[in-house]
Every structure is written in structure tokens, then in C-alpha cells.
Structure 1
Amino acid sequence: MKAMTPAERQREKRARDKLKEEERQARLLAYRLQVDIYHATAELLSEIMATCELEERQDAITRLIHNASRLPGDQLRDFMRQP
């Protein structure tokens, strides 16, 4: 068996790392959400992100979902009924 060159070792490492990332995503990801966002909604999301010092839209949306889910049922229903 011949010794691998540094380039071959790096190529194999990248392939292993990529596989690990794909496996991690496969375990964690329930589904992808693709949604159209209108200008007014985008502006509101940008304001929320700026206020909370968040940089990624996905992070802001995820936090909104998780934090809304912590509201008691009546408060959640009232919150979601608002336009």
C-alpha cells in the first residue's frame, strides 16, 4: 500500500467531513420551508432582528416560533389572532 500525498489525505478528510455534515443534517432537519415574504413583513422582520441584534433571518424566525410556543394556550391563540 502506497502512502497518500497530503492532497489525497485532505481530499479524504473533506469527504468524511461532508458525510458527517450530511448525516447531521439528516438527523436534525424535519423539512425545508420555502415561503414568499412581502415587503411589509420583511421590514417588520428586519426591525425585530435589529432590536434583538440578530443577524440571520432563519435564527429570528426560529426564535419567534420557539418563544411563541412557550405561551399558554389562551395567550398563544390571542397572539396568533392579531393581524
Structure 2
Amino acid sequence: MTAKTPKQRQQDKRDRDKMSKEDREARLLSRRIVTDLYHNDDAALKRIMARTYIDEPQDIITRLIRGADRMPDDQLNDHIRIA
């Protein structure tokens, strides 16, 4: 695979900019998860968001998933057992 030229990258950007929000989301979204949060879980989520200065629940959940994914297996298992 060869590197794209600046002209090709600019054309790709223009093509992405022309897409509707729904088209961009359909292209990027793997799946949608809907979950109910109990009061204590919601309060914990809000505390984490406040401590990290992150305003969007989706953003903090994504970061938590990616952080957990990078943990070694033993550390992840220990962390999950705490919960």
C-alpha cells in the first residue's frame, strides 16, 4: 500500500465532509449499546466524569473501555473482581 498524496487526502476529506451525519455514523459505528443505569452506577459515572473533567458520558465510557483493553489480563481480572 502506497502513501496517499496530499491531493488524494484532500479529496478524501472533501468526500467525508459531503457525507450526512447519518452516513458518517453508519460508516464508523460498529454497534449501539443501550443500557439502564441504577442510581449508584449513575452517581459513580458522574463522579468519574467530574474527576476527569470529561462532560460526555460516551467519551468517558469509551476511554474506560480502551483503558481496560490495554490492561494486562491479571490486572484486568483483579480490577473486575473489585467491582
Superposed CA deviations along residues 12-66 of structure 1, whole A, max 9, x for unmatched, are xxxx95x432222112101111000000011111010000000011111111000
Report what 2:72 is aligned to: 72
Corresponding residue pairs, total = 67
Map of 1:3-82 to 2, 5 A cutoff?
A: 17=18, 19-82=19-82
Pick which of 49-58 and 73-82 moved more.
73-82
Tell me how far apart the structure 2 counterparts of residues 28 and 81 of structure 1 sit (CA, whole Å): 32
Q: Which runs of 4+ in 1 moved over 2 A?
A: 19-23
Return the offset for 1:80: 1.2
Q: Over aligned residues, Cα RMSD in angstroms?
A: 1.6
Rg comparison, structure with higher value:
1
Aligned residues: percent identity? 45
Report what 2:10 is aligned to: none
| Structure 1: gaps (5+ residues) | 1-15
- TM-score, with normalisation over the residues of structure 2? 0.73
